[in-house]
Structure 1
Amino acid sequence: MSDLLLGLLIVLPLLGSTLSLGLGLVRERVGWWVATLVLAVEAGLASWVAYVIYVGGDRLVHVLGGETFGRKSITVGGETTNFTVGIELVGDALSGLVVVLVAGVALAALAYMRRAGPRGNAFYTVYLIMTGGLMGVALTGDLFNLFVFLEIVGLATYALIAAGRGPEAAVASLKYLVVGTTGASMYLIGVGYVFLETGALNMVDVSRSLAGDAPWFDGALYSEPLVVAAFGFVAVGLATKSAIFPLHTWQPGAYAEAPDAVTVYISALASTSAAYAFARITWLVFTPEFFAVNRRLLEVVLLLAGASVVAGSVIAAMQQRLKRTFAYSSVAQFGLVFLGICVAVHPAATEEATKFAVYGTVIHLIGHAVIKGGLFATAGALAAGEGARTLSEIAGLARRRPFISGSLTVLGLSLVGVPPSVGFVGKWYIGVGAVGANLWPVVVVIFASTVLSLLYIAQILEKLYFTPEATEVDLQDVEPIAADGGRSLSYGMAGVGVTAAVVAVALGFGGAQLASLLDPVWRAVVDSAPEVIA
């Protein structure tokens, strides 16, 4: 019966969103309480699913409508092939971590929103809808329904960004709408090409069809033009959603102009969900065999990912506003994630290289969500408590805000990759995988990312700790500008940043244990057997 929890993880936030809106008709500002209750239950369900997967060793599969509706058998020439025609939800060693991440971040962001706002019931309705969409992205085993859930996440994100006050938030939301919809369209075109060539949408069935593992296919389909084009469109679409350079233009404005609490949430999960989707499709749908035939296609993605790392880091170092610095930093960090994804399936990668690349990619993806959510939380806390949003305005604030500044320091150094943080573990594993695959340019890019990220993080820390309070901006006269209209800093707002810093270090110490949970994933990548992830 545990497989029923997969559907409940998606449905519960969606039902909660209607409850928030309905109760809002009789009582104002009940949305936060409804969202907190719903997401507390959601976190418990996610923890139980993770327990079943990682402790029980079970791969959970739930076919909506039941087995009779969802699975069919076709016999051709005396050979019977089973395939899925219904919608599958899959809980395995890859999706289990993402489910826990989504539930944890969504609940933590509510602690920040309690004081920072926004406060309308409609806002929390959209917030819960986005959480349900993120759970769907993590759990779906169907390429088309992945598009549906990505669009739910996208539409909800547009609305959350627009909740910011002023025309800048509206412009940023509109830009995200245009660019994000274009990326989703590219992905959908790729899925259409896959369906035309294979007649399947279920991820496992598509993988088997591309390998020619069905009597109606005469050999593998990896070199078919439609299949090659399909991967290209899927990669462009998900790279846009993940803000990979030069498809990143929506992200800096969206992160900078959204309310601080919204930025905490979307910076941790919005692009993370798209990068996770790209990893799952690249590793377990197209598989290393596809890239052995189409090596140049993989090298193009590697080139763009490397450019994203360098360009994002350089532009981040040129920013004066903290939120824009961290936004461009995300462009660089997701470039690292895409590098790890590609290293894992590179034709030159040994089994060991694939293992380490998978470890590094997933750990860095999860670690970045924790780190970046925490960094935006500390930036928002400084803005709420001190009215400081730029480098010049945070000068000398470490003495007045030691816990927030300390959290920012720990999270910033984790972003750089200083041990024993989770940022170091992810980069280390990706680098070791690249060495094992003899991809030395990737190693150089990882080293460059460390140096460049140190440049802008050191700049921030120098202002916080070693620069006297700025003379050109009298911080005593700057009015706090929290998202709820000027309320002061709360314990919840500061606590989110402190908690993120503690988790980032704890994940660093537990990196080996976290990597061991991913053993079924890299084995499935090596064996090109997505159905055996447990």
Structure 2
Amino acid sequence: MSEPLPLIELLLPLAVVVPIVAATLPLALGLRYDDVGWSVAAVTSVGLVGIAGAVAAEVYTAGRFAHELGGYQPPVGIELVADELSAAVLVLIAVVAAATLAFSRVAGPRGNAFYSGYLLLTGGLSGVVLTGDLFNLFVFLEIVGLTTYALIAADRSGASAYASLKYLMLGTVGASLYLVGVGYVFLATGSLNMLDLQTQIVEQASYTDPLIQAGFAFIVAGFALKIALFPVHTWQPDAYQRAPDSVTVFVAALVSTAGAYALIRVTYTVFTVDFLLANDAITTVLLVVTGVSILAGSVLAAMQSDLKRMFAYSSVAQFGMIAAAVALANEWALLGGIVHLLGHGLLKFGLFLAAGLLALGYGARRVEDLASLARRAPYTAGSLAVLGLALVGIPPSIGFLGKWYIAFGAVQESGAGGGAVGIGIAAVIFISTLFTLAYVARLIEQLYFAGVGLDDGHGEGVADTDEHGGNVVADGGQAADHDADDPISPKSGAPTTLGVPDRVPTGAFVVLLLATATAVALGFAGATFADLFDPFLSEVFA
């Protein structure tokens, strides 16, 4: 008889299977019960937070562990692996998935089909970060892609359907390129297991083998589409802008984050840092492309007036920094890339949540709609301002740590013979920071200084319930009583207290404040991040 599996090892398949199986329940139970989807999603998401926390606790106390699916030994069998990197991203996925529900309950969509897609996407994301097999990674990426396409079009509007179709076309191209790259690597090595490939690339081929080089190039090109690097970024602004607000919060925080995680994982676990050092031409091209993406994304973001498009173009720049950190093949830069990966997911969750709450309560979707909102919604506006400054990289914040480590690694790489390219990456990060400061300053100027001579009245907001029965809370600002011609009046149709939309859902409001506080608090955790990821970095750069 075979020995029973350790309980902790079973958490890895549970992290994937539980949300995927639970995705069938809203549809099945929906045949008899209406609106059961949110409850199923909430219970499942809270359970996933517990699973992710237990996995992270085991990894950070006892080290890496794996689970062999079906009992088949790798490299023939498929394994799920938890290490310092995957555990951190798994925790991010679980926490954001659970936190998003506080907003989606009020903002919608509310159908059982939506929550089935939401749970399926959560399971796919968990699979992406835990799988130790290249082809299995493709399967989970496709689960993520297909469910994302559906969720973006969840409100059934023509604009969201177009954005979803655009994402579908480009996402399919990206997945195809990735699969072609995996095929080249398999032809050269005969293996798909990530750790086994690390050995087989050396034993069966070489770092300069044309098949290995072509495989890496196709895989990176596929990931470039998935994480929206310039110039193959065009799906992202439309998808983020046109998707329902709760979908944008979830997708912007996690989907491209999972793609960027996969880029780090495949580059350093499969191809290794030695491949990058042996192929200067490939790394130089990567650094040039990522540098252009950083600058282009920042410039395009500064040109936007729509809040969601602004933050979407910002992601093009931020993921360019993460990809540059990967290409630098430097320990400090990679640490910065990992920190920025986690920090960017948190920041974009908070920024899109704040934007969604302001749109829900005040109809504010463009920069000019934010005029004087800080007086009527001080806490929500304050969170948006703080998270924006964290995106700029103002210390103390998680945004500062990631940028600092990447830039430091780039300068260090140039001093070690990296030449002008390393200095160039540090320079574009600095220029990008100035552009980010420019558009974040526009937001703050509108929130706090636009229309300062107007009288907002003196009514106080009170706690109440919204039209769907969910709790709402006053944001602490002054009420307004303006007519439709007043330039700072709320949009018609927004939920109101005493005639004023100065309320936000209680759960989402608390989540936003916690996300803001966490983004600032993690700015003091530089040494902690270095300690947590030291085992992973030591193995990569051994």
Name the structure 2 match of 1:376: 352
1:63-142 equivalences in 2 (<5 Å): 63-66=68-71, 69-71=72-74, 84-142=75-133
Is 1:502 the counterpart of 2:517? The answer is: yes
* Distance in 2 separating the partners of 1:327 and 1:164: 19
Are the equivalent residues in 2 in contact too, given 1:115–1:492 (CA < 8 A)? no
Structure 1 position 472, deviation (Å):
8.1
Distance 2:494 2:287 in 1: 41
Are 1:367 and 2:352 matched, yes or no? no
Distance of 1:285 and 1:294 partners within structure 2: 15
Which residue does 1:268 correspond to in 2?
A: 253
**1:512-532 deviations in Å (ceiling 9; x for gaps):** 2122110011111112xxxxx
Q: How does 1:425-440 map to 2 (within 5 A)?
A: 425-438=401-414, 439-440=422-423
Does the 8 A contact of 2:362 with 2:502 survive in 1?
A: no
Quick check: 99-108 or 516-525, which moved more? Answer: 516-525
Q: Tell me which residue corresponds to 1:295.
A: 280
How many aligned positions are there? 494
Q: Offset at 1:22?
A: 1.2
For residues 294 and 374 of structure 1, the distance between their equivalents in structure 2, rounded to whole angstroms, comes to: 39
Alignment of structure 1 residues 5-44 onto 2, 5 Å: 5-44=11-50
Identify unmatched segments of 5+ residues in structure 2: 1-5, 415-421, 455-483, 496-500
**Cα deviations by residue, 1:92-117 (Å, 9 ceiling, x for unpaired):** 11101011010000000011111111
Select the residue among 236, 243, 248 that pairs with 1:251. 236
Deviations 1:256-296 (A, max 9, x none): 00000010000000000000000111112111211222111
- Indicate yes or no: 2:537 matched with 1:522: yes
Paired position in structure 2 for 1:338: 323
Distance 1:291 1:336 in 2: 17
Corresponding residue of 2:138: 147
Separation in structure 2 between the aligned mates of residue 473 and residue 435 of structure 1, nearest angstrom:
52
Deviation at 1:211, TM superposition (A): 1.8
Unmatched tracts of structure 1, length 5 or more = 72-83, 346-353, 528-534
CA distance in 1, matches of 2:168, 2:108: 23
State the alpha-carbon separation in 2 of the partners of residues 498 and 423 from structure 1.
Answer: 17
CA-to-aligned-CA distance 1:147-188 (integer Å, 9 cap, x gap): 000000000100110013421000000000000010000000
- Conservation of the 8 A alpha-carbon contact between 1:9 and 1:135: yes
Secondary structure in 1 matching 2:81: strand
Contact 1:480–1:487 (CA<8 Å) still a contact in 2?
A: no
**Partners of 2:430 and 2:134 in 1: CA distance:** 35
Distance in 2, matches of 1:16 and 1:206, equals: 34
Task: State the SS of the aligned residue for 1:399.
Answer: helix
Higher relative contact order (CA 8 A, sep 6+): 1
Equivalent residue letter for 2:42: T
Distance in 2 separating the partners of 1:253 and 1:492: 28
Distance 1:480 1:519 in 2: 52
1:62 aligns with 2:67: yes
Q: Is 1:387 paired with 2:390?
A: no
Shift of 1:442: 1.1
* 1:479 alignment counterpart: 492
Kept after mapping to 2: 8 A contact 1:363/1:515: no
SS at the partner of 2:287? helix
Q: Does residue 464 of structure 1 match 2:443? A: no
Q: CA deviation at 1:223?
A: 1.1
Task: Label 1:315 to 1:473 Cα distance change in 2 as closer, same or farther (>3 A).
Answer: farther
Counterpart residue identity of residue 432, structure 1:
F
Please list, as runs of the form range in 1=range in 2, the aligned pairs for 1:301-320 lying within 5 A after superposition.
301-320=286-305
Determine the structure 1 residue equivalent to 2:462.
Answer: none
Inter-partner Cα distance in structure 1 for 2:90 and 2:32:
33
Pairing partner for 2:424 from 432, 441, 445: 441
Partner of 2:183: 192
Percent pairwise identity: 52
Residues 335 and 405 in structure 2, CA contact (< 8 A), matched pair in contact too: yes
CA contact (8 A) 1:116 1:487 kept: no
SS of the residue corresponding to residue 53 of structure 2 reads helix
Whole-angstrom CA distance in 2 between matches of 1:472 and 1:250: 36
| Separation of aligned partners in 1, 2:378 and 2:187 | 59
Question: Structure 2 vs 1, CA of residues 39 and 109 (structure 1 numbering), >3 Å: closer, same or farther?
Answer: same
**1:233–1:472: structure 2 CA closer, same or farther, 3 Å change rule?**
farther
Which residue identity does 2:335 align to in structure 1? Answer: Y
Q: Is 1:421 equivalent to 2:424 in the alignment?
A: no
Q: Secondary structure at the match of 2:117?
A: helix
- Letter of the structure 1 residue corresponding to residue 535 of structure 2: P
Deviations 1:428-455 (A, max 9, x none): 1111111111111111011111111001
Find the aligned partners of 1:479 and 1:389 in 2 and give their Cα distance: 13
User: 2:167 pairs with 176, 187, 205, which one?
Assistant: 176
In structure 2, distance between residues paired with 1:436 and 1:320: 37
Post-superposition shift, 1:487?
12
CA deviation after TM superposition for structure 1 residue 488, in Å: 6.4
TM-score by length of 1: 0.90
In the TM superposition, what is the alpha-carbon distance from 1:473 to its structure 2 partner? 6.5
2:208 & 2:253 partners in 1: Cα distance? 36
Could you tell me which amino acid in structure 1 is paired with residue 444 of structure 2? L
Pairwise CA distance, 1:495: 2.6
How far did 1:492 drift? Answer: 2.3
Secondary structure at the aligned position of 1:476 is classed as coil
Alignment partners' CA distance in 2, 1:329 and 1:148: 28
Instruction: Please give the alpha-carbon distance, in whole angstroms, between the structure 2 residues aligned to 1:245 and 1:477.
Output: 36
Q: Give CA deviations for 1:443-500 in whole Å, capped at 9, x if unaligned.
A: 1011111111001100111111111179987342522469xxx996312232332221
2:498 aligned partner = none
Indicate if the aligned counterparts of 1:434 and 1:443 stay in contact, CA closer than 8 A.
yes
RMSD: 1.6
1:350 maps to which residue?
A: none
Q: Could you tell me how far apart the structure 1 residues matched to 2:486 and 2:236 are?
A: 28
Match of 1:65, SS state, is helix
Q: Which residue of 303, 317, 334 corresponds with 1:358?
A: 334
Distance 1:410 1:487 in 2: 20
C-alpha distance in structure 2 between counterparts of 1:311 and 1:404, whole Å: 29
> In 2, Cα distance between the equivalents of 1:487 and 1:236?
46
Tell me which amino acid in the other structure corresponds to 1:143: L
Name the SS for the 1:12 alignment partner. Answer: helix
Aligned twin of 2:373 = 397
- Structure 2 residue 143 is matched with structure 1 residue 158: no
What TM-score do you get using the length of structure 2 for normalisation? 0.89
Amino acid at match of 1:18: T
What's the counterpart of residue 81 of structure 1? Answer: none
Q: Which residue of 2 aligns with 1:211?
A: 202
Take 1:364 and 1:525, find their aligned partners in 2: how far apart are those partners?
18
